[in-house]
Amino acid sequence: MPAITLIEAVNMALAHELKHNKDVVALGEDVGANGGVFRATDGLQKQFGEERVIDTPLAESMIAGLSIGMASQGMRPVAEMQFMGFIFPAADQIICHMARMRHRTRGRLTLPLVIRAPYGGGIHAPEHHSESTEAIFAHIPGLKVVIPSNPSRAYGLLLAAIRDPDPVIFLEPKRVYRIVKHEVEDNGEEYPIGCCFVDREGTDITLISWGAMLHETHMAAAKLAEKGISAEVIDVATVSPLDIDTILESVEKTGRVVIVQEAPKAGSLGSEIAAEIAEKRVFSLLAPIGRVSGYDTVMPYYRLEKQYMPTVDRIMEEALKTVEYK
Amino acid sequence: MTTVATFKIEHTQYLDASGKPTAKKMPKWAKDADTLKALYRSMARIRQLDTKAYALQRTGKMGTYPAATGQEAIGVGFGSALTADDVLCPYYRGQASMIEHGVTMEEILLYWGGDERGSDFKNAKQDFPIAVPIATQCLHATGVATAMKLRGEKRCVATEIGEGGTSEGDFYEALNVAGIWNLGVMFIINNNQWAISVPSSIQTACETYAQKAIAAGIEAVQVDGNDIIAVREAALNAAEKARNGGGATLIECVSLRLCDHTTADDARRYRPENELDSGWKNEPIIRLRKYMESLGIWDEQQEETMMAEVVAEVQTAVDNYLATPADSPEAMFDYLYEELPSRTQEQREYAINNKVVGGHH
């Protein structure tokens, strides 16, 4: 079994579902002959044809609205937004229709579709290519927002997203598209949506993260171990609906929490997780909840992006402060 | 210099305002008494439904409602060109076409009465609910048509939009993709001259709204939207073309909004004083009645009988609507996802336990 990258895992999951379900189609800008600007759909049009892997005109709202129409007929479109920074023309379709269709028709029309988008910073990209705006969509009832952190999860979660009966926003942390390889068997086995994953068990502190930041978080956990501190690491994976139970269980065990995210701090997923912990397990806490995040400012153009994004050192500093709190 | 592209937009009318044929040849169906009577009845019913809906809103028994007074020929005309296998993606002023396609008046009233169950159509199972965000429905129509095309189905999709809505990006994006992919969509523009208070002079620099389709490579026609024979004939042709793989058609129906934008609007604030006087002389229902009278298939007695039946039919729908109690609080949660997340289940229980007595209209 060859080891594959996250982007290759996305490609493998797409190919698997295209092969096994005739209702599945992949569509988006440049997904056909070009195979996607990150090569997520590389070779798929050649394998499955132009009617299954569809190059669309350049219009994001169209891609989303068209997917809604197709899904209402029982197809399972997997649409690519080339970058999450370009998803906003489609926000009207996603928020006002995609998220609400099942509800407002009392279940008569359902939309089993996926919107994929690479997101996040750290690849020296042009402006508008690096933001982490997952909280905007996580705030919308009726959507599911899933973020894989590694190749295995990308494969299993994308399979689950495509098979899900409701719309899923599938955000791919593009900084880690190619930095880690996993041995992933193309066996069609899903990872569950709506579950956090305990990546590393520990007893002294819980580190919570998702997407690309999980890699820095794991590095911090390893460094903490060198100092004799046992960190539990949770990959949130599905940021909406949030599996708060797994998080609360860990908090009960460790009593100390640091949340790590690339997104700005205010009104974020970290805010929501912290609020839930405060509401439900405040008396399990031995220290204030710590947060390491992007800043509440515009995602800088790339010469300053390393100043903006949380580093292993920043996570270490916050974790040590939290562990040492008395 | 060479001319690399030219275009023209043709305007079609079969009946003038007094119901006299203006075309040399009428469509065959336009001589069939039963067809004409059914169309006439549908238009009269929509006029009556809109009148009752206004009264319900004014007496606090219903929320905001958009009447289609003066534009009945458009919705009835293209709606009656659809078969049960076709799909309709309506906009908020779409009650006439929706009812033609099987949506009940009770569902329309329930919807505007603030109840999502009004979009759970008993009959038109695959039709979209009313799109409130402007022009978004055009893209849904292209998606439905894409699914039909990929599956090789001989069905068509119809969608309607106001002339103001054609300024939206989603409208152009839908035309564009429908042209490229040769999608079986019938785009209907209800050009009622007003987008709330904004007249066409502020909406577009084009001579017609139909020509917006030219840039997308789509066939475009303009018809007299107060002439149901012109609307329906264009729609029948467009639907047949769409079902047979001939691609999309844009039909601009020129009419006039003889009512306010909605019950929340007062058109007296912006409408020129004499516009309604001439407008009412052009309206579509009288026009068809006069044509039927000239054919000798309609008289005062039939008019009275039909109106009494239509009034009773609408009243039954109103009574059923008024007798429908609001849904229980858990309905806010029960259709959000196929399976409600556990966190939201807690809120569902909370909402049930904290039910506000008399907390609905």
Please name the residue of chain B whose CA is at the shortest distance from the CA of residue A168.
Answer: B337
Catalytic residue among B45, B232, B261, B289: B261
Contact B254, B189 (CB under 8 A): no
Rounded mean pLDDT, B126-150: 98
Residue B29 in 3-state DSSP?
helix
| CA-based nearest distance B15→chain A, Å | 36
- The pLDDT value recorded for residue B18 is 96
| Residues A95/A136, Cβ–Cβ less than 8 Å | no
Of A62, A71, A105, the CB nearest to B173: A62
Report the SS3 class of residue B223: strand
For chain B, report the end-to-end CA distance as a whole number of angstroms.
67
Convert the pLDDT of each residue in A294-318 to its tens digit.
Answer: 999 999 999 999 999 999 999 999 9
Q: Cα separation of B13 and B253, whole Å?
A: 10
Residues 264-323 of A with CB under 8 A from B: none
Q: pLDDT category, A272, cuts 50, 70, 90?
A: very high
A104 at B interface, C-beta within 8 A: yes
pLDDT for A277 equals 98
CA atoms within 13 Å, Cβ hemisphere of A297: 8
For the beta carbon of residue B24, count every other beta carbon within 10 angstroms.
6
Q: What is the enclosing helix (H) or strand (E) of B222?
A: strand B219-224
Residue A306 to residue B355: CA distance in whole angstroms: 50
CA pair distance A54, A24, nearest whole angstrom:
11
**What is the rounded CA–CA span in Å between residue B127 and residue B107?**
13
What pLDDT does A231 receive? 98
Whether the per-residue pLDDT at B358 is higher than 80: the answer is no
Nearest CA in chain A to B152: A51
How many angstroms separate the CA of residue A210 from the nearest CA in chain B? 19
Tell me if A25 and B177 make a contact (CB, 8 A cut-off): no
pLDDT score at B168: 97
When the pLDDT of each residue in chain B is averaged and rounded to a whole number, the result is: 97
Closest CA to B232 of B29, B90, B86, B46: B29
Residue A62 to residue A77: CA distance in whole angstroms: 13
Taking CB atoms and an 8 Å limit, are B146 and A110 in contact across chains? no
Q: In which band, very low, low, confident or very high, does the pLDDT at B3 lie, cut at 50, 70 and 90?
A: very high
Given a contact cutoff of 8 angstroms between Cβ atoms, the answer to whether A79 and A28 are in contact is yes
What does the DSSP 8-state code read for residue B129?
P
Residue in chain B lying closest to A194 (CA): B341
> Residues A249-274: what's their mean pLDDT?
98
Inter-chain residue contact A241 with B148, CB threshold 8 Å: no
- What pLDDT, on a 0 to 100 scale, did the predictor assign at position B359? 58
**What pLDDT does B99 receive?**
98
The minimal CB distance from A106 to the residues B143, B148, B335 is found for: B335
CA angle A25, A137, A149 (to 5 degrees): 70
Assign residue A202 a region: left if phi > 0, alpha if psi is -120 to 50, beta otherwise?
beta
**CA B13, CA B167: separation in Å to the nearest integer?**
26
Which residues contact residue B191 at a Cβ distance below 8 angstroms, ignoring those fewer than 6 apart?
Answer: B162, B163, B200, B209, B225, B252, B253, B254, B255
- Measured in angstroms, the CA of B171 and the nearest CA of chain A are apart by 9
How much of chain B is in helix, strand and coil states, percent to nearest 5? 50, 10, 40
Interchain CB distance below 8 Å, B128 and A72: yes
Return the HEC string of chain A.
CCEECHHHHHHHHHHHHHHHCCCEEEEECCCCCCCCCCCCCCCHHHHHCCCCEEECCCCHHHHHHHHHHHHHCCCEEEEECCCHHHCHHHHHHHHHHHCCHHHHCCCCCCCCCEEEEEECCCCCCCCCCCCCCHHHHHCCCCCEEECCCCHHHHHHHHHHHHHCCCCEEEEEEHHHCCCCCEECCCCCCCCCCCCCEEEECCCCEEEEECCCHHHHHHHHHHHHHHCCCCEEEEECCEEECCCHHHHHHHHHHHCCEEEEEEEECCCCHHHHHHHHHHHHHHHHCCCCCEEEEECCCCCCCHHHHHHHCCCHHHHHHHHHHHHHCC
The catalytic residue among B47, B101, B232, B257 is: B257
Q: Is B268 a catalytic residue?
A: no
CA A237 – CA A149 distance, rounded (Å): 7
- The DSSP code for B114 is T
Contact: B177, A61; criterion CB under 8 Å? no
Looking at the complex, does the CB of residue A166 fall below 8 Å from at least one CB of chain B? yes
Closest partner CB to A61 (pick from B141, B173, B343): B173
- CA dist., res. B52 & res. B55, Å (int): 5
Asked whether the beta carbons of residue A71 and residue B143 sit closer than 8 angstroms, the reply is: yes
Residue B335: which of A56, A70, A103 has the nearest Cβ? A103
| pLDDT for residue B121 | 98
Query: Active-site positions of A?
Result: 129
pLDDT, one tens digit per residue, over A196-210 is 999 999 999 999 999
pTM given for the model: 0.97
Of chain A, the end-to-end C-alpha distance in Å amounts to: 49
Strand duo A144-146 + A238-240: pairing: antiparallel
Q: What pLDDT does residue B360 have?
A: 57
Q: What ranges in chain B are assigned the alpha helix state H?
A: 33-58, 72-79, 95-100, 105-112, 136-150, 169-180, 200-203, 228-243, 275-281, 284-295, 300-322, 342-353
Q: In chain A, which residues have their Cβ closer than 8 Å to the Cβ of B216?
A: none
- Closest CA in chain B for residue A167: B337
Tell me the shortest Cα–Cα distance from B19 to chain A, in angstroms.
40
Q: Is A94 on the interface with B (CB under 8 A)?
A: no
Residue B224: pLDDT band with limits 50, 70, 90 = very high
Distance CA B244, CA B266 (A): 44
Q: According to the model, what pLDDT value does residue B361 have?
A: 54
Which residues on chain B are in Cβ contact (under 8 Å) with A56?
177
Q: Please, which residues have CB within 8 angstroms of residue A162's CB and are 6 or more apart in sequence?
A: A13, A14, A17, A21, A24, A76, A78, A114
**pLDDT band of A99, cuts 50, 70, 90:** very high
Q: Which helix (H) or strand (E) holds B191?
A: strand B185-191
Share of chain B above pLDDT 90, in %: 98
B173 chain-A contacts, CB cut-off 8 A: 57, 59, 61-62, 65
Per-residue confidence (pLDDT) for residue A212, from 0 to 100: 98
Q: What is the mean pLDDT of residues A97-104?
A: 98
Return the pLDDT at A1.
80
Instruction: Output Rg (C-alpha) for chain B, integer angstroms.
Output: 21
Place of tokens 């009593």: A255
Total Cβ atoms within 10 A of residue B53: 26
pLDDT in tens, A220-235: 999 999 999 999 999 9
Q: How far is CA A56 from CA A15, A29, B62, in A?
A: 19, 5, 42
Q: Among B133, B177, B336, whose Cβ lies nearest the Cβ of A141?
A: B336
pLDDT at site B357: 83
The token pair at B84 is 């049960």
Q: Please tell me which of the candidates A61, A70, A141 has its beta carbon nearest to residue B147.
A: A70
Residue with tokens 């569950």: A192
Cβ distance B143 to A68 less than 8 Å, yes or no, reads yes
Q: What value, to the nearest 5°, has the Cα angle with vertex B84 and ends B82 and B89?
A: 65
Q: What is the structure's pLDDT at B25?
A: 95
Closest chain A residue to the Cα of B118, Cα to Cα = A105
Interface of B with A (CB under 8 A): 89, 116-117, 119-121, 125-126, 128-129, 131-133, 136, 138-148, 150-151, 169-170, 173-174, 176-177, 180, 335-338, 341-344
Q: Residue B198 has which token pair? A: 């904004």
Residue B270 designated active-site: yes
pLDDT digits (tens, 9 = 90+) for B83-129: 999 999 999 999 999 999 999 999 999 999 999 999 999 999 999 99
Distance (Å, whole) CA A235 – CA B193: 56
Chain A residues inside the 8 Å CB shell of B131? 97
B161 bridge partner residues:
B189
**Among A residues 57-86, those touching chain B with beta carbons less than 8 Å apart:** 57, 59, 61-62, 64-75
Q: Which of A57, A65, A74 sits opposite B140 (nearest CB)?
A: A65
Instruction: Return the half-sphere exposure (C-beta side, CA atoms, 13 A cut-off) of residue A242.
Output: 25
Question: Nearest-CA distance from B242 to chain A in Å?
Answer: 17
